[in-house]
Amino acid sequence: MHEFLQHLPAFAAQHGLLLAAFAALILALIVTEIMRLRRGWQDATPATVTRLLNRESALLIDVSPRAEYDKAHIPGAKHVAMDKFDPEHKDLAKLKEMPVVVCCRSGITSQRAAKRLVQAGFKNVHSLAGGIAAWRQADLPVAKGKN
């Protein structure tokens, strides 16, 4: 270890660009992590969603388009198309302390819905990372048709 530390200044002098790239990468990772922590909602794996549904009776909202929802959705999911999604609605607003999981086909639209829930004051918000595709890949059951 002592020999390594002796050669470190010479390495840094010879590879300044590499050192700068490494420092930029570390800074980018730190900024990304801080932004993730401050966004107010969490990505959830299919296993985490299963735990939230079974142990904490989480509300599950699927914001996929109706046709996608009818093809495959998580059993028990309530369908609310993103264009009609209103976290301020009186029926939803009274559930602000309850765990809420939002999902969609790929996990992108559900992130937008999660952000809107946090902005509306919801405290325990999760988005299914990878959406229904990740759910199916984990070999978990899906339902078809209207709920």
Q: What is the pLDDT along the chain (147 residues), one digit of tens a residue?
A: 678 778 778 887 888 788 888 888 887 887 766 655 666 789 999 999 999 999 999 999 999 999 999 999 999 999 999 988 888 888 777 788 899 999 999 999 999 999 999 999 999 999 999 999 999 999 999 998 775
CATH architecture of 41-137: 3-Layer(aba) Sandwich (3.40)
Residue 108 has which token pair?
């992108």
Residues 6+ apart with CB under 8 A from 71: 144
Domain residue limits, the chain? 2-37, 41-137
Task: Output the CA–CA distances (angstroms, integers) from residue 36 to 24, 29, 43, 44, in the order listed.
Answer: 18, 11, 9, 13
Is pTM beyond 0.85 here?
A: no
